[in-house]
Amino acid sequence: MKPLLGPARVRFGVDPGAAVAGAWYPYTVQLADELPGMLTTARSTVGDVSGIDVNWTSFRRLPGLDSPDSPETPPLMTLTAGGRVVTLLVIPPRTASSLAATLLRQASGAVMDGRCHSLEFRRAERILVRAGLSATRETG
């Protein structure tokens, strides 16, 4: 049995129909090992998930979202539950924890108070805008 890494680091916003309705920050690139915990956490927000789709081919190769080699289209995961589709930004574990925490907060719609003018906040904002544009292109 693999050791438990910690609670699922997933946050959802108030609008599950938003272009990006939340974010997930897995601990490792072994998504299959962490997916059950994330789905258990998601159940209270989205219900029982009946389908999962992703927009990448190899998560293991994705650099952090703060890397110069980061893909133009951020990794997204769509969860189908109860006839609706919820899109999550999947933050690669190689991403700096400070940026990942900011992305989790912004994706959930959490108010950032005085930090909204920081470079980290602006970087996260740009990533979420790109993710939202990509999600809109894929579904529309």
SS3 category, 4 = coil
Give me the numbers of helices (H) and strands (E) for the chain, helices first please.
Answer: 3, 5
Cα gap 109→21, rounded to integer Å: 9
SS3 category, 59 = helix
Cα gap 92→74, rounded to integer Å: 9
Contact 104, 8 (CB under 8 A): no
Q: Which two tokens stand for residue 124?
A: 């996260």
**pTM listed for this prediction:** 0.91
Beta pairing partners, 24: 10, 90
One pLDDT digit (tens) per residue for the chain, 140 residues: 455 678 999 999 988 889 999 999 999 999 999 999 999 999 999 999 999 999 988 888 889 999 999 988 999 999 999 889 999 999 999 999 999 999 999 999 876 666 677 888 899 999 999 999 988 887 65
Cα gap 140→130, rounded to integer Å: 15
Contact 12, 22 (CB under 8 A): yes
